[in-house]
Amino acid sequence: MAGGKETPRQKMIGMMYLVLTALLALNVSKQVIAAFVTINDKLDRSAQIIDQNNQSNYSSFDKKITTVKAQGGDVNTVKVWQERSFLVRDKTTEIIGFLLGECNEMVEMAEGVSWIEESDDKGNILSLKPLAEIMNMDNYDIPTNLFIGGDPQNPSQRGKDIRNRVIEYRNAVASIMATYETPKGKFSFTAPADMSGLKESLKTCNSEDTAAIGAFMKSLNIPEMIDQTIHGETETMPWPSVMFDHAPIVAAAAMLTALKLDVKNSESMATEFLLSKVDVQEFDFNKIEPLAFAPTGYINQGDSLQLSVMIAAYDSTEIPKVKYGMDADTANTDNWKPSNNADGSISLVGSTPGLHKVKGVIMVKQRGIEVPKPWSFEYTVGQPMGVVALPQMRVLYRGYDNIVEGTASGFPADRVTLSGSGCSISKGSNGQYVAKVGAGTREATISVNGRKDDGGSVNLGSFKFEVKSLPTPSLYLGGISNGQNPGLSSVRAQGRVSCRYDESVPLTGVKFSIASGTVTVNGIKGEGKITGGGGLDSKAKQILTQSSGKQVTIMVAYRGPDGVSKRTALVFTTR
């Protein structure tokens, strides 16, 4: 359509081609849309895993400070690098909040409501609600207008700012890592205008740091222009246009989540680098104390207890020599026997209820001479302790009547109650309780309480539960499920779709209502409708009768007990 004079027929053909291309672009495969949701969720889970490692790195500074204090050393050196790690953490929280903010505004324009799930006290966005709950997943006008505008070769400043903010974060963190002073001299790093100048910029760094700083800079290298090849033709486009131009909302959101993952990876590199700058020596053997310990001193009858015996400061290359006796044998050292485990641990079996005592010695080298160090340990074998049991799952589900049970030894059933934090607890039937969790809660605690004879209450244990949304149900056309190849006669006989759990989900009594939906068959024009309740209209039934050898796609909007509207699909091929 561009360049040279065209005949009316050529113009008509060109216009028809453009219209067809536009129609194909608009008819985005629902499976492709669903795939973007899956990709986004996987990227987000990866970011959460990396974030757990990052939090461990931050905590390691406190552990190193504790070690230095115990050695009587100067903790200021550790604190200098810890404060730098705090700067990295704050800048990471800020850039993640920015990326999630852009994603939230994009989704809010499509859905009409904020998609923010959690924020911190400074207003930084920490998480968004699941993409699977978005109704207008395939809207590509909003991302294009928001981040590109009318000219892909000159995208809007907002689209450019996404790249610019990530680059600014990278440069700032690199400077935090590389700028410091030691007895060897002062070191610094100023990020180059582009990566071609990286080698020159690294010359002002400590030579021991150049590899780490260079790798960090490259980990967040986002080129301003990208060569994009479509149908064999290569065109150089600005980064925002390649990422967001005509991208459905879920695809644009997945791209922002990918940037979030890149930032988290870079944060991990930065915290590990800062942690490596703190060289804390191990303890010297200036004082030795025997230590016998176990996870608990109270076990149930028939269970076993793993008792560990070691010294407070020890050499891991040395196998401890341990001898011990139990109960009556504790008074007669001739009957003591050696530990049969290489690490000096002793297996204690709770075969008889009551109080038991273990006594022995561990041999410790002092100036090359083995010296016996005495130790002792007492434990009680009794009846089962109070427990919290969740028969259906080890989680609590939002909007669902989670059945929980509580028992406690030494207390009759009428004196045992459950209480909850982050959830509401109500008395059910057969000594069971119902735990309900509201929206926005991620973790709940259920406590077992016993009422004493004097009327007082004692806490017998508190147990944390992860809170999740109900699993996505499977969509069925009659008895036809995803991926099956039913016969045409079987398909014709169906008149209703339903959402329900298969046997892989152990939840019972969960009901889902279908609000609306569509039925399409590859190669057949038009689409049928699914009415409220899951019924098929006449058009849906008509095209299903023509589906022999064709792929059928059914997409519905449904609601579960939690009241949240979601979408799911059923895809099968008729024989």
Q: What is the pLDDT of residue 320?
A: 72
Q: What is the pLDDT of residue 24?
A: 41
pLDDT tens-digit map of 464-487: 899 998 899 999 999 999 999 999
The position carrying tokens 């800062």 is 274
DSSP state of 471: P
Number of Cβ within 10 Å of residue 7's Cβ equals 8
Q: What is the pLDDT of residue 147?
A: 95
Domain spanning 290-382 has what CATH number? 2.60.40.10
CA 394, CA 441: separation in Å to the nearest integer? 16
DSSP state of 431: T
Tokens for 71, please give them.
């050695």
- Neighbour order of strands in the sheet with 395-397: 395-397, 457-468, 443-451, 416-421
Measured at the CA of 557, the angle between CA 551 and CA 558, to 5 degrees, comes to 120
> Residues with Cβ < 8 Å from 544, sequence gap 6 or more?
491, 492, 494, 519, 521, 528, 536, 552
Tokens for 27, please give them.
């008819």
The position carrying tokens 């015996």 is 309
pLDDT tens-digit map of 14-67: 555 454 444 444 445 667 777 888 888 888 898 899 999 889 888 888 888 877
Q: Which of 149-153, 291-295, 406-410 has the lowest mean pLDDT?
A: 291-295
CA 351, CA 301: separation in Å to the nearest integer? 6
C-alpha 278: how far from chain center: 29
Tokens for 196, please give them.
């071609």
> Residues with Cβ < 8 Å from 99, sequence gap 6 or more?
162, 166, 256, 259, 260, 263
CA 550, CA 568: separation in Å to the nearest integer? 20
Pick the CATH number of 387-468 from 2.60.40.60, 3.40.1440.60, 2.30.30.90, 1.10.3720.10: 2.60.40.60
* pLDDT > 70? residue 551: yes
CA 387, CA 467: separation in Å to the nearest integer? 19
Domain positions in the chain = 14-276, 290-382, 387-468, 474-573
- Asked if 290-382 and 387-468 have one fold, the answer is yes
Let me know: does 239 contact 222? Beta carbons within 8 Å: yes
pLDDT confidence of 492, banded at 50, 70, 90? Answer: very high
- List, in sequence order, every beta strand (DSSP E) within 115-245: 116-119, 125-128, 180-182, 185-187, 225-230, 233-238
pLDDT tens-digit map of 3-25: 445 555 555 545 554 544 444 44
pTM of the model: 0.48
pLDDT tens-digit map of 350-392: 777 667 788 888 887 654 567 788 888 877 665 544 455 555 5
